[in-house]
């Protein structure tokens, strides 16, 4: 039976320390970190995420604002809003909630955010910094995943890590971060042949494919660290990519869904906003 990696508790402890840092920054420099989230349209899942981000900001003492724009907003209007926030000294982090409506080019929007305020870590400058080992603002979910793996006390250096999924938000950056920490990294994806064999070689298995229950124990090496990034809503409840009850019998450590990676993502967003505010001094 594996040990549970309790993201909820770990995230709460980190937020407590962020709250103290935010307070100290305020006392020492009179600066309150500020995060602005832009939400376009009425996607219910996005609305939930944005509400959770506001709640987390409140908990740690970060000033938060939300700009809610219509589904029909033009790309030009959105880019003008971003430019205004780039110039606003009270805002240290800008996050445009994805996905955006089809008529808006996501790359153009991400590229318009000042790299210094890109608390998502999606701007090509921040991606390049990550790639070359100079990261300042790292993407939140991968950053949270690394913290969870480190919490197990297992060394990452020298381990075989397999990342299933190659998105810009999770798969690619988490693979780079594991490489930076000296793991031997394989990135697998939907076209990978013999996925089960490759996954079985993993001491650290990160699954980010968005297919609920896709990974059963046949993909998992005994004693592996298994990180489930999947969060698909099925009949009103969140389901991971891993069949938890089965895989927990074989893995060494495993994250639950919900309560694993999810709470860490928002906590890392708070941390990135604090970092961006400190760097603005």
Is it true that the peptide bond before 99 is cis, omega within 30 degrees of 0?
yes
Q: Which of 25, 40, 140, 185 binds ligand GUN (CB under 6 A)?
A: 140
What whole-number distance in Å separates Cα of residue 134 and Cα of residue 253? 30
Q: Is 53 a catalytic residue?
A: yes
Tokens, residue 144: 């949270």
- Ramachandran sector of residue 233 (left: φ over 0; alpha: ψ -120 to 50; beta: rest): beta
- Applying CB under 6 A, the span of 20-28, 89-97, 205-213, 225-233 interacting with ligand GUN comes to 89-97
Catalytic residue among 21, 53, 159, 239: 53
Region 163-182 residues binding ligand GUN, contact defined as CB under 6 A: 169
Q: How many CA atoms lie within 13 A of 69 on its CB side?
A: 22
Closest CA to 248 of 222, 278, 270: 222
Considering 21, 97, 172, 203, which one is annotated as catalytic? 97
Nearest-approach distance from CB 213 to ligand GUN, in angstroms = 21
Residue 50 in contact with ligand GUN, rule: CB under 6 A: no
Q: Determine if 96 is a binding residue for ligand GUN (CB under 6 A).
A: yes
- Interface pick for ligand GUN out of 4, 98, 115, 131 (rule CB under 6 A): 98
- Both tokens of 191, joined, read 């076209």
Strand-strand pairing, 34-40 and 63-69: parallel
* Number of residues located near ligand GUN, criterion CB under 6 A: 8
| Catalytic residue IDs | 53, 97, 120
Binding positions for ligand GUN, rule: CB under 6 A: 95-98, 120, 140-141, 169
């Amino acid at each position: 039976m594996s040990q549970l990696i309790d993201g909820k508790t770990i995230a709460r402890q980190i937020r407590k320390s962020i709250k103290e840092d935010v307070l100290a920054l305020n006392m020492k420099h009179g600066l309150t970190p500020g995060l602005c989230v832009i939400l376009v349209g009425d996607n219910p899942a996005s609305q939930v995420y944005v509400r959770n981000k506001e709640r987390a900001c409140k908990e740690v003492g970060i000033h938060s604002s939300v700009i809610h724009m219509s589904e029909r907003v033009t790309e030009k209007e959105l880019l003008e809003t971003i430019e205004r926030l780039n110039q606003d000294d009270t805002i240290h982090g800008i996050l445009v909630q994805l996905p955006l409506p089809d008529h808006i080019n996501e790359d153009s929007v991400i590229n318009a955010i000042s790299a210094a305020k890109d608390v998502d870590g999606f701007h090509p400058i921040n991606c390049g910094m990550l790639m070359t080992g100079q990261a300042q603002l790292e993407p939140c979910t991968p950053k949270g995943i690394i913290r969870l793996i480190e919490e197990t006390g297992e060394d990452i250096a020298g381990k075989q890590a397999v990342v299933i999924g190659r998105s810009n938000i999770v798969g690619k950056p988490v693979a780079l971060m594991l490489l930076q920490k000296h793991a031997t990294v394989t990135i697998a994806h939907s076209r990978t042949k013999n996925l089960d064999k490759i996954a079985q070689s993993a001491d650290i298995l990160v699954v980010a494919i968005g297919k609920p229950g896709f990974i059963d124990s046949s993909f998992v090496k005994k004693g592996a660290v298994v990180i489930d990034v999947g969060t698909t809503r099925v009949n009103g409840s969140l389901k991971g990519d891993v069949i938890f009850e089965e895989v927990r019998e074989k893995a060494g450590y495993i994250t639950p869904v919900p309560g694993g990676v999810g709470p860490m993502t928002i906590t890392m967003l708070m941390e990135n906003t604090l970092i961006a505010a400190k760097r603005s001094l």
